[in-house]
Amino acid sequence: MIIDRFVEESPSHEELFALLRAISIADVKVLIYKVEDALARERTLVRLPAAETFVIGDMHGDIAAALAIARQLMEGGPGMQQVFLGDYVDRGPHQVDVINLVLLLKATYPGRVTMLRGNHEIPAVNGENGFRECLERQFGREDGAILWHLYNRLFMRLPLAAITWNGIFLVHGGIPEGVNGLHEIEALPRELVPENRISFELLWNDPVEAKHPFHFRKGPRGGATKQFGELAFDEFQERTNISKLIRGHEEFNEGFRFFFGERVLSIFSSRRVLHGVFERQIRPKVVKIDMAGNLVVEAFEPAAIMT
Ligand SMILES: [Mn+2]
């Protein structure tokens, strides 16, 4: 089993990548069941313990970046935790390896890893943007389709947001319109994305700095997606008492961007994003929240592996 070898052999980047490339259908199923078991004990809004915390943005199939991030966790002590903001799958070349690596981390260190749901952890999205196709190519059409359903069953059980000990709110997209307190997010039916409007907006909304302050407006991503302005963020902060917001969902060349006087931080942890045939290069980052509560945006060296 891949989990036993991962725990017992502390593999190098190359060895871990080889283990992931050779993963069996039986191993994938065990990983999914183990992680689902851990997720059953988590709330829709995860309340994180006080610890040095690394927040990881969109991964989108960049296995070299994901291996470097995994190494940070493996080498960090029990006082260090990681929160993944979602978008593990779609777009990149090694999306199956990336989600399996994150599942391996979650199965091995359930108390030190929090996996949030991104807008690509929705079957209507990852059925069309690469994940289903990659699974069918790797495991065959029939088994690939079965696994695709199993992964999406797990995705339905992922928490939607987290909050750190010092009040930093973590979510994939952004703040939703019409929320009066964190208890409303805590009570969301997390499996109902995109049916539930508030769950949907948590995974899809984007912050926008504008000359003329606004609350919410229709977003360019289409559908029911929205942009939130500084006025909406002021109001959300007042109603929820959060100190800051860290989110993913958007790629910026430097891998991060601050909004609204450094109260909102957007983070991206993949080196590239494919939009159809167009590939955009990013300098990926992670965010460290240290024990004093400071946010530190950190660059990291992707694993030197032959992909
Ligand atoms: Mn996204």
278 within some domain: yes
**Cβ(134)–Cβ(100) below 8 Å:** no
What is each CA distance from 52 to 48, 79, 146, 170, 199, in whole angstroms? 11, 6, 38, 15, 28
The 3-state DSSP class for residue 240 equals helix
pLDDT at 189: 87
251 within some domain: yes
Q: 123, 174, 171, 177: which is closest to 147 by C-alpha? A: 123
pLDDT at 266: 98
Which CATH number do you get for residue 15?
A: 3.60.21.10
Beta bridge partners of 56: 84, 286
The rounded distance, in Å, linking the Cα atoms of 139 and 254 is: 35
Tokens of 191: 């499996």
State the residue range of the domain holding 136.
2-299
Whether the pLDDT of residue 66 is over 80: the answer is yes
The rounded distance, in Å, linking the Cα atoms of 99 and 93 is: 12
Ligand 1 centroid from CA 58, angstroms: 7
Beta bridge partners of 109: none
- pLDDT-based confidence at residue 272 (cuts at 50, 70, 90): confident
Ligand 1 centroid from CA 194, angstroms: 13
Domain count, the chain: 1
The 3-state DSSP class for residue 37 equals helix
Ligand 1 centroid from CA 209, angstroms: 19
Whether the pLDDT of residue 27 is over 80: the answer is yes
pLDDT at 87: 97
Residues found in the chain: 307
**Could you tell me how far CA 242 lies from the centroid of its own chain?**
20
Q: 49, 44, 50: which is closest to 182 by C-alpha? A: 44
Ligand 1 centroid from CA 118, angstroms: 6
The rounded distance, in Å, linking the Cα atoms of 295 and 55 is: 10
Is 275 an annotated catalytic residue?
no
Q: Following CA atoms 101, 107, 109, 112 in sequence, which dihedral angle do they give, to the nearest 10 degrees?
A: 80
Tokens of 100: 């399996």
280 within some domain: yes
pLDDT at 254: 96
Query: Which of 120, 183, 212, 249 is the catalytic position?
Result: 120
256 within some domain: yes
The percent of residues in the chain predicted with pLDDT above 90, rounded, is 88
The DSSP output letter for 188 is: S
Stronger pLDDT, 98 or 279, i.e. the higher one: 98
pLDDT at 191: 84
53 within some domain: yes
pLDDT at 275: 77
Ligand 1 centroid from CA 89, angstroms: 10
- pLDDT-based confidence at residue 278 (cuts at 50, 70, 90): confident
Ligand 1 centroid from CA 280, angstroms: 15
304 within some domain: no
The rounded distance, in Å, linking the Cα atoms of 176 and 58 is: 20
Whether the pLDDT of residue 206 is over 80: the answer is yes
41 within some domain: yes
307 within some domain: no
Ligand 1 centroid from CA 119, angstroms: 5
